Amino acid sequence: MKGRWFYKILILVLAIGCLDFFWVEDAFAIPHFARNFNKRCSVCHAAVPKLNALGERFRLNGYQFPGTIDDTPLWYQDTPPLSGMFHGMYMNMTMENNTSMPMNGILPGDELTISEFQGQAFELFAGGTLGSHLSYFAFLEFEQGGALEDGNWVTERDFAFKQLFGMYNNVLGGNTGSMNLKFGLFEMEIPFSALRALGAHHATPYLVYSVDPLSGGHHGGTGFRFDSPQTGIAMSGILSSGFQYELGLVNGTNASFDTNDKQDVYLRLAQHIGDQRIGAFYYKGKSNLGSTVAQSNTDFFRVGLDFSFNFLLGDRHLNIFGQYMRGENDNIAFLDVGHDDGADDHDADADADHDADVDADADHDADVDADHDADVDTDHDADTDADHVADAEGDHAPGQKFSYDGYFIEADLSIIPNKLVTMYRYERLNVDKQAGFFTEDTITRQIFQVRWYFTPNFFTIAQYHIQDSKLGNMTMGDQSSFGVMNSDTKMFMFMLAYVL
């Protein structure tokens, strides 16, 4: 029967997992990096997938340990440069509609409970060195999940490269990693990557990173998400003093093609003092609706401050970290397509309409004649002048501004090293009061999680989160169906994951 090989491999993987269970103390990490360097998971990981300080240096140095250069060509390496992860999830979620209108098919005052298995995924990783100064990383994911659309739960499938990039390391020579070049589709050097966090990134990404006021909802354009991989080029490094930097030029359209003639720029700075870190970032870019015919752009920025502090409590490890972030889009309504050649047509239409109104109404005609030279007709003149200036500058007219700020703080505690890990996160997102689509509202969320590692590469996650949302007409990334427009959401999630 076709496909029988798949079931044989699946049974073999499960059998290996059972064997690992009985040899926990002697188990080595099995992903490619651990196999290639003959190291345990705990050398680079505080708890899979979260990296410790050495693991971060290894990643930043082009997947080489600090102070070393791995010049072994890929075809001479002892093990294939591949790793993978299976994970499956059970979810029980309750959404309560606190609005006066239907929301996602839920009537006002009603609630909807969903209980199902979802989030099944296989992730394939390849990475390492190609020789002296060259390294690479690829991340391919196949995921099957679900989303709520107009009260119906629909299946969604995703199969795509999430990251695919190369690096030229140690541009200045030596083996310090003080300057590296990165190019391709990569995750920017954001302070806290959801892919390497203890929180289940599929279910609960960081709220302040997930805000995208352009994609989905009433726009459907090519919005920007701070935590999404971007296509571009970046220069990065970490100095012997612990100073870290990254300066990048990217499309700013996540993994999609760029839809305007401008690239976005971002800067990340951080200072490491032992296992402690403080940092900041700035991102400035331009987005539009994705049309190459009528580009209506919005300028936007994201700026933030972050910290990460580590403490040893006997044989227990505590990591407390947090992020403050502010963002602004100067126009998300796109009221004007902004072409220079539209000015004359606009003036001609305005004059024609004005003359028609004057001829049709004698009283109005008299008023206009009396006040025309003095520019008393402020409504018409103000609108005409504003549109004329916008057209003359080739940019959009003043539209709907969107601004927000927010923060999160998280505590990760290793109770039994390499076995039992707990996590608590508090998040708050504030949308500034502004005319049009938004009022001054908030999202707050608390997440509680417990992880148990049967082996370093086979673990289970139990997570519970409470979210109170009071926002309308905005996409919250993966949370677009999970609590916008004033709703309360409670979700329990249980996941099994196996890394091979």
At residue 467, the 3 state secondary structure works out as strand
Mean pLDDT confidence for 462-475 = 72
**Tens digits of per-residue pLDDT, 45-69?**
888 888 888 888 888 888 888 877 7
Predicted TM-score (pTM) of this structure: 0.75
Half-sphere exposure of 182 (CA within 13 A, CB side): 32
Most confident of 48-52, 75-79, 182-186: 182-186
At residue 491, the 3 state secondary structure works out as strand
At residue 220, the 3 state secondary structure works out as coil
Q: How far apart are CA 235 and CA 267, in angstroms?
A: 10
Q: How far apart are CA 466 and CA 401, in angstroms?
A: 29
Q: How far apart are CA 225 and CA 21, in angstroms?
A: 39
Confidence (pLDDT) at 471: 52
For residue 446, list its beta bridge partners. 426, 466
Query: Which of the two residues, 472 and 401, has the higher pLDDT score?
Result: 401
Domains of the chain: 32-336+397-499 (2.40.160.10), 343-393 (no CATH)
pLDDT score of 423 more than 90: yes
CB-count exposure of residue 380 (10 Å: 0-12, 13-18, 19+):
middle
**Tens digits of per-residue pLDDT, 327-363?**
998 877 654 333 334 434 444 444 444 444 444 444 4
Phi, psi dihedral angles at 415 (to 5 degrees)? -80, -50
DSSP state of 477: G
